[in-house]
Amino acid sequence: MGSEDEKVSDWGKSLTVPSVQELVRNDPHSLPERYIQLHRDRPVVPDMAVAPSSFDIPIIDFALLAKGDEDETRKLDLACKEWGFFQIINHGVPEEVLLKMKAAIAAFFELPLEEKNKYAQDGNDFQGYGQAYVASEDQKLDWCDMVFLITLPHEIRNLKYWADTIPGFKDAIDRYSKEAQKVAEELCANISLLMGMDKDGLQRSYGKTKQAMRMNYYPPCSRPDLVIGINPHSDPDIITLLLQDDEVPGLQIRHKDEWILVKPIHNAIVVNVGDVLEILSNGMYKSIEHRAITNESKARLSLATIMIPYDELEIGPMECAVDDHRPRMYANMKYLDYLRYIFARKMEGKAHLDNTLKIKSSFS
């Protein structure tokens, strides 16, 4: 068993905010001022029927990649450099595992508020049912409720935040977390090869990892053109695997100064490079700004499974990623200090990485 200290993610905590799901349940047209975005931040809600297909993010066949297929490996390199996002198909995670995971999240958010509150964030722990990145009473809020859980390794799980009254909840996470870990490790092994190392090169650099899940519930919104489901941010991790709703699109990524909708592909997993990988690769691979928009009539669920280093790791560019052509672009920082910095602030695209570790004089 891990010690009690290890079971608390002492990264700082968000202010408590109301449940948006409850707000909508009480009045489907309610739209408090705190959720109405400033003009410049409001989304243009795309019409799925006419959204340009030339802007679809890369799709990678994971089974081919794992076999060392050269085309797929090249695609991975390009996807991490140019897009920071891609979708994987043939990833080998059984459909049943994906369906049970999605059903477990749906079941959690269907619980009455009093039940969900039994798993609410507590003390200085980031885990549990609640919200993240709310640092001031004036800031604009996400049209989203969330649950954050540390899922691996087993010994640091804090089961008091796990909804044990939902049959199959823990089993669904157990099975999906194991599969997701395998996929994330295989992707990192391939990225290591692309960086000119052996398969374990990256892993040797970031050391032991933790896995955490952020479960998002975006209630329908009567004015999706005025609110944002999750505000623009980059993920502060090594790599993220995102399961999104097959039926309700919502994820948008910033690509060449445009917001591109990531169209769901049945059973695919969306993958994105996190800030830590951007830093380790000295900016060769990009952690891209993304956000979620809402839907007028349908709720949307998503699950971000993140792979993160331990708090004490000193993050900074790897030696093999720095040379005369690519001078060091980031300073070093303890991972815990990086997390505390960003969790004490509202999400702001890539500003936090730029304001902490990015060396200003270097090229980008």
Ligand X SMILES: O=C(O)CCC(=O)C(=O)O
Give contact residues for ligand X (rule: CB under 6 A): 214, 216, 230, 235, 242, 244, 250-251, 290, 292, 302, 304
Number of residues that bind Fe ion (CB under 5 A): 1
Considering the complex, state which of residue 255 and residue 328 has its C-beta at the smaller distance from ligand X.
255
Considering the complex, state which of residue 303 and residue 357 has its C-beta at the smaller distance from ligand X.
303
CA distances from 246 to 110, 267, 303, 326 (A): 19, 8, 12, 40
SS (H, E, C) 256-287: CCEEEECCCCCCCEEEEECHHHHHHCCCCCCC
Q: Give the separation between CA 270 and CA 255, rounded to whole angstroms.
A: 15
Which tokens hold the place of 298? 């349908």
Contact 212, 308 (CB under 8 A): yes
Rg of the chain on CA atoms, in Å: 20
Q: Give the separation between CA 337 and CA 343, rounded to whole angstroms.
A: 10
- Supply the minimum distance, in Å, between the C-beta of residue 50 and ligand X: 21
- Supply the minimum distance, in Å, between the C-beta of residue 146 and Fe ion: 11
Considering the complex, state which of residue 57 and residue 321 has its C-beta at the smaller distance from ligand X.
57
- Supply the minimum distance, in Å, between the C-beta of residue 58 and ligand X: 17
Considering the complex, state which of residue 141 and residue 318 has its C-beta at the smaller distance from ligand X.
141
Considering the complex, state which of residue 111 and residue 344 has its C-beta at the smaller distance from Fe ion.
344
Contact 262, 212 (CB under 8 A): no
Strands 85-89 and 59-61: parallel
Identified binder of Fe ion from the candidate list 235, 237, 245, 275, rule CB under 5 A = 235
Contacts of 342 (CB under 8 A, 6+ apart): 133, 236, 352
Contact 75, 87 (CB under 8 A): no
- Supply the minimum distance, in Å, between the C-beta of residue 235 and Fe ion: 4
The residue among 281, 285, 267 whose CA lies nearest residue 61 is 267
Query: Closest residue to Fe ion, Cβ-based?
Result: 235
Q: Which of Fe ion, ligand X, none is residue 305 near (CB under 5 to 8 Å by kind)?
A: none
- Supply the minimum distance, in Å, between the C-beta of residue 241 and ligand X: 11
Question: In which residue are the tokens 């959204």 written?
Answer: 51
Considering the complex, state which of residue 151 and residue 244 has its C-beta at the smaller distance from ligand X.
244
- Supply the minimum distance, in Å, between the C-beta of residue 36 and ligand X: 20
For residue 161, which phi and psi values (nearest 5 degrees)?
-95, 0
- Supply the minimum distance, in Å, between the C-beta of residue 303 and ligand X: 8
Q: Which stretch binds Fe ion (CB under 5 A): 105-113, 190-198, 235-243, 279-287?
A: 235-243
Considering the complex, state which of residue 132 and residue 195 has its C-beta at the smaller distance from ligand X.
132
Q: Which stretch binds Fe ion (CB under 5 A): 78-86, 129-137, 190-198, 229-237?
A: 229-237
Cis peptide before 167 (omega within 30 of 0): no
Q: Which of Fe ion, ligand X, none is residue 244 near (CB under 5 to 8 Å by kind)?
A: ligand X
Considering the complex, state which of residue 282 and residue 302 has its C-beta at the smaller distance from ligand X.
302
- Supply the minimum distance, in Å, between the C-beta of residue 320 and ligand X: 29
Q: Give the separation between CA 231 and CA 348, rounded to whole angstroms.
A: 8
Considering the complex, state which of residue 88 and residue 318 has its C-beta at the smaller distance from Fe ion.
88
Strands 290-292 and 251-255: antiparallel
Give me the numbers of helices (H) and strands (E) for the chain, helices first please: 10, 14
Task: Quickly count: other Cβ atoms within 10 Å of residue 106's Cβ.
Answer: 15
- Supply the minimum distance, in Å, between the C-beta of residue 102 and Fe ion: 18
Does residue 289 bind Fe ion (CB under 5 A)?
A: no
Residues binding Fe ion (CB under 5 A): 235
